[in-house]
Amino acid sequence: MKERIFVIHRWSGRPNTDWYPWLKTELEARGYEVFVPLMPHPETPTIEDYVVCLSEAVGVPDRQTHFVGHSIGCQTIMRYLAGIQTRVGKVVFVGGWFDLKGLEDEEAAMIAKPWIETPIDFERIRQNAQNITAIFSDDDNYVDLGNKELFEQNLNARIFIKHKKGHFTKKSGVTELPIVLEQFVE
């Protein structure tokens, strides 16, 4: 059975945006089976709907199951991993957060609020995913670099900080993200 990688897009993202198509092509060329599911109502993401969607997409996880999350996709993967009883393979978080800055309006703040305030079982995540990498940008409009310490402390994540990548979106000029690929071809 091929190793599987699930790439979970950002809030307001789609499977065909940002760097996801590039990563999918690169990983498939290296023999991985790659899934980039369209998450439900990406403009108004909810924890329950996103975690259920990911769970249904994955089916039965194992150590040959890997994850890449972008922004709210990181939150989705963390909450999914906290709810399973199985060890998985590698987990890569890109522009992940526990708190956000620069939200556009009150509606965005209300959408983000449950994601920020609902506790996450970090111990369970560490049990289920022991190879975690978190990648941040030094000029992210939404994610303060202070989040990196939380990923280090709570998840024992290996940290990378990229220079001037914004929130790792096409709008930030990011359509390829080699550092993510490197995590799977070491």
Domains in the chain, CATH or no CATH each: 4-182 (3.40.50.1820)
Compute the distance between CA of residue 37 and CA of residue 53 in angstroms, rounded to an integer: 8
- 10 Å Cβ neighbour count for 125? 23
On whether the CB atoms of residues 84 and 125 are closer than 8 A, the answer is no
pLDDT at 130: 86
- Residue entry with tokens 């999914």: 80
Query: Using 50, 70 and 90 to split pLDDT, how confident is the model at 50?
Result: very high
Please state the pTM of the whole predicted model: 0.97
1 pLDDT higher than 90: no
Query: Would you give the DSSP letter of residue 170?
Result: G
